[in-house]
Amino acid sequence: MTHEIAVIPGDGIGQEVTPAAVEVLETLAIDFEFVEADAGDAVKEETGEALPQETYDLAASADATLFGAAGETAADVILPLRTAVDSFVNVRPAKAYPGIDAVRPETDLIFLRENTEGVYAGHEDRLTRDVSTLTRVVTESASERLAEFACDYVAGDDHDGFSIVHKANVMRETDGLFRDTVKSVADENGVETDQVLMDAFATRVCLDPEQFDVVVCPNLAGDVLSDLAAGLVGGLGLLPSANIGPDRALFEPVHGTAPDIAGQGVANPAATIISAAMLLEYLGYDEESDAVHEAVEDTLENGPRTPDLGGDASTEDVTEAIGERL
Amino acid sequence: MTHEIAVIPGDGIGQEVTPAAVEVLETLAIDFEFVEADAGDAVKEETGEALPQETYDLAASADATLFGAAGETAADVILPLRTAVDSFVNVRPAKAYPGIDAVRPETDLIFLRENTEGVYAGHEDRLTRDVSTLTRVVTESASERLAEFACDYVAGDDHDGFSIVHKANVMRETDGLFRDTVKSVADENGVETDQVLMDAFATRVCLDPEQFDVVVCPNLAGDVLSDLAAGLVGGLGLLPSANIGPDRALFEPVHGTAPDIAGQGVANPAATIISAAMLLEYLGYDEESDAVHEAVEDTLENGPRTPDLGGDASTEDVTEAIGERL
Ligand SMILES: CC(C)[C@H](C(=O)O)[C@@H](O)C(=O)O
Ligand SMILES: CC(C)[C@H](C(=O)O)[C@@H](O)C(=O)O
């Protein structure tokens, strides 16, 4: 069976790390058909559109999409692409790796971020010169879908349960609906949960990240708290993510375009290659996925390393080293 | 001139740390009249109301209020009390102290949090069984008032400028209005600013807190990011805060009621006493304020210390030690 994979490198180091991940996928004995498409600042400059219709359509029909990064136009690219794959959950692991400098080396968290609504539902108005509003939307159905995914996730990956992060003491109706819905789905499935206020989570995860494991949260909370966890593990450089929909999915490193080093061939491809490992798992290639994870971890620990990790290897050196370990 | 100070101990360790701060204020040669009032879980149990009208009225008329903590009813108490003093900014210093264990000992930040609107404006609806909404409100006038305060603050306290934290790439109209208004007030006042996305701030402050100093942000961002900074300095235990309005203000430790240790006489009074030092500064007693800050810092560094900091002193021992250093 052939899998069509949309490849959208985007801007900056996206142009370097995305081909690196494709190179790794190509070393595997899987029948992939890679189809490349444009998105981001550069194509906007040329055509006026950050996300051309063909690119959107490709992501909406391919089995999976691998996305690199976009610059100024990031929100105009990634938010519609998440919609293109009908993604209802953003899976964001934040894990420290042996040998990599981290504020909290014991961090090993999985964020399951609601990916369709909250403040991202995005109805805004300028009511008067003085007053602007945004309508934050929380639905029972989206909360349920996320919770069902979370229950499957913890069962499949052998976790004890999950934490529900919310701010229902202030957003009583909306985050109350989120919290109660997620909790009741978990209860029905016999999955243990605890509930943590989003501000308390921010304090507690710094003090002791090991008290948390799988974290289920609304969209913006997931955005900010997963980036906080990124800080604890040493930065965005190594973090992958998966935007999962019912029939397709989109994988992307959490980092951006890194304009300061773009074009020099020294970008760290690890986050994108780990994202590709998540893609493999999504398509059912668990063994291959594990092998890629292990090859990346081995390379992070023993080198070669790119300059961001104190080494002097190139993107290509690291990519080859990972390929050789497969 | 007599200053009327409302004292609202609230629940849990609020009952222990608030009298401790009053005790410190009483050692100073200032004419204070302390008037105590109830709020929180205990009074709700008794009377059905977490915030009795007399307590609200007292805070709304006193020159300043010292608040301890409230339990389950925290939001029902603190949000109306902020309104009672017409507080438009919540000043939250997050600073690591010498000799106190901290994830990031170099942290020294001041959050200036918008204190009236954002998601806290609180218009929520359950539109259908499935759909709930919250209207997030951002006004030019509140953003301007905050920005003017921030400009005075950095000038008076000798800072280079401030960072504007926002999520205007997603909340384009509302956080766009916030960001642009704050920036233009700063420009008019010749105050330097930089702009940081709220998620990027979360990563960057963990990696290197020294790159930030004064941080101006919307209400919920301030809530979460100041609690994140609390994590970096070793917990909520030592953090004070000031809710400033045009004519009066309310001071409170950032910590909660600590039910696990309440009633044992071992709660750390430092955060409330530092909040009292902020009250002194607010009323114009700069020298006395500095003296209290120094006495607390000296005591934190050289003891005696309460059990949360590894010591075995009581609340009263620490309070007396601070008083003796004045
Ligand atoms: C670029 C931006 C719209 C996006 C988000 O807020 O989701 C980014 O921060 C992310 O987390 O992928
Ligand atoms: C208790 C709660 C309503 C409050 C807030 O969200 O502002 C608290 O977290 C704080 O930061 O003082």
Q: CA B306, CA B266: separation in Å to the nearest integer?
A: 6
Q: CA A268, CA B267: separation in Å to the nearest integer?
A: 48
Q: CA A280, CA A274: separation in Å to the nearest integer?
A: 10
The gap from C-alpha B119 to its chain's centroid, in whole angstroms, comes to: 18
Closest residue in A to B142 (Cα) is A130
- Reported as type and span, the H/E element at residue B95 is strand B89-95
Which burial class, exposed, middle or buried, applies to A209 when counting CB atoms under 10 A from its CB (0-12, 13-18, 19+)? buried
- Please state whether beta strands B214-217 and A131-139 pair in parallel, antiparallel, or not at all (unpaired): unpaired
Q: Which residues contact B133 (CB under 8 A, 6 or more apart)?
A: A135, A136, A137, A138, A174, B124, B125, B127
What is the distance in angstroms between the Cα of B27 and the nearest Cα belonging to chain A? Answer: 34
B150 φ/ψ angles, rounded to the nearest 5 degrees: -60, -40
A223 in contact with ligand 1, CB cutoff 6 A: yes
| Model confidence at B122: pLDDT above 80 | no
Q: CA B320, CA B246: separation in Å to the nearest integer?
A: 34
Give the number of the atom of ligand 1 that is nearest the alpha carbon of residue A75.
3
Catalytic residue among A157, A199, A286, A312: A199
Task: Give the one of B141, B170, B202 whose C-beta lies nearest to A75's C-beta.
Answer: B170
Task: Kindly report the pTM of this predicted structure.
Answer: 0.97
Residue A13 CA: distances (Å) to CA of A255, A269, A272 = 10, 9, 11
Indicate the top mutation candidate among B170, B196, B201, B204 to test ligand 1's pocket, ranked by most ligand atoms within 8 A of CB: B170
Surface of A (181-220) touching B: CB under 8 A: 198-200, 202-207, 220
What is the distance in angstroms between the Cα of B239 and the nearest Cα belonging to chain A? Answer: 12
What would the mean pLDDT of B10-21 be, rounded to a whole number? 98
Q: Which residues of A are less than 8 Å from B119 in CB distance?
A: 136, 167, 170-171
Give the number of the atom of ligand 2 that is nearest the alpha carbon of residue B70.
1
Cα of A309 to ligand 1 centre, how many Å?
24
- Reported as type and span, the H/E element at residue A288 is helix A286-302
Q: CA A91, CA A68: separation in Å to the nearest integer?
A: 16
Helix axes A219-232, B198-207, angle to 10 degrees: 20
By percentage, how much of chain B surpasses pLDDT 90? 95
Q: CA A294, CA B208: separation in Å to the nearest integer?
A: 30
| Interchain pair B135, A132: CB under 8 A | no
User: Tens of pLDDT along A207-257?
Assistant: 999 999 999 999 999 999 999 999 999 888 899 999 999 999 999 999 999
Per-residue model confidence (pLDDT) at position B157: 83
| Interchain pair B129, A139: CB under 8 A | no
What would the mean pLDDT of A310-315 be, rounded to a whole number? 96
Which burial class, exposed, middle or buried, applies to A122 when counting CB atoms under 10 A from its CB (0-12, 13-18, 19+)? middle
Cα of B223 to ligand 2 centre, how many Å?
7
SS3 B51: coil
Per-residue model confidence (pLDDT) at position B237: 84
User: Tens of pLDDT along B184-196?
Assistant: 999 999 999 999 9
Q: Whose CA is nearest to atom 10 of ligand 1?
A: A223
**CA-closest candidate to residue A81, choices A144, A2, A137, A6:** A6
Q: CA A240, CA A253: separation in Å to the nearest integer?
A: 4
Catalytic residue among A86, A120, A180, A213: A120
B272 residue type, one letter: T
Residue B107 CA: distances (Å) to CA of A196, B147, B184, B207 = 25, 23, 28, 11
Q: Token digits for B59?
A: 């805070």
B118 φ/ψ angles, rounded to the nearest 5 degrees: 65, -145
Q: CA B238, CA B230: separation in Å to the nearest integer?
A: 8
Q: CA A192, CA A124: separation in Å to the nearest integer?
A: 37
Give the number of the atom of ligand 2 that is nearest the alpha carbon of residue A169.
3
**CA-closest candidate to residue A71, choices A36, A39, A38:** A39
Long-range contacts of A24-31 (CB under 8 A, 24+ apart): A24/A273, A24/A276, A24/A292, A24/A319, A24/A322, A24/A323, A24/A326, A25/A276, A25/A279, A25/A280, A27/A323, A27/A326, A28/A280, A28/A285, A28/A288, A28/A326, A30/A3, A30/A280, A30/A285, A30/A288, A31/A1, A31/A2, A31/A3
List active site positions of B.
120, 167, 199, 223, 227
**CA-closest candidate to residue B180, choices A126, A57, A212:** A126
Q: Token digits for A209?
A: 């990240």
Band of residue A265 on the pLDDT scale cut at 50, 70, 90: very high
User: Tens of pLDDT along B26-52?
Assistant: 999 999 999 999 999 999 999 999 999
Which burial class, exposed, middle or buried, applies to B108 when counting CB atoms under 10 A from its CB (0-12, 13-18, 19+)? middle
Q: Which residues of B are less than 8 Å from A236 in CB distance?
A: 203
Q: Which residues of B are less than 8 Å from A104 in CB distance?
A: 103
- Reported as type and span, the H/E element at residue B124 is strand B118-126
Per-residue model confidence (pLDDT) at position A1: 85
By percentage, how much of chain A surpasses pLDDT 90? 95
* A76 assigned to active site: no
Which burial class, exposed, middle or buried, applies to A160 when counting CB atoms under 10 A from its CB (0-12, 13-18, 19+)? exposed
Per-residue model confidence (pLDDT) at position A100: 87
Q: Which residues contact B74 (CB under 8 A, 6 or more apart)?
A: A169, B40, B256
Q: Which residues of B are less than 8 Å from A126 in CB distance?
A: 173, 177
Surface of A (63-82) touching B: CB under 8 A: 74-75, 79
Prior bond to A304 cis, omega within 30?
Answer: yes
For residue B82, the ligand closest to its alpha carbon is 2
Q: Token digits for A258?
A: 């890194």
A109 in contact with ligand 1, CB cutoff 6 A: no
What would the mean pLDDT of A108-118 be, rounded to a whole number? 98
The answer to whether residues A1 and A31 touch, using CB atoms and an 8 Å cutoff, is yes
Q: Indicate which of B79, B199, B210, B232 best probes the interface with A, i.e. most A CBs within 10 Å of its own CB.
A: B199
DSSP string, A61-97: HSSEEEEEE-STTHHHHHHHHHHHTT--EEEEEEE--
Per-residue model confidence (pLDDT) at position A122: 74
Closest residue in B to A223 (Cα) is B199
What would the mean pLDDT of B141-165 be, rounded to a whole number? 96
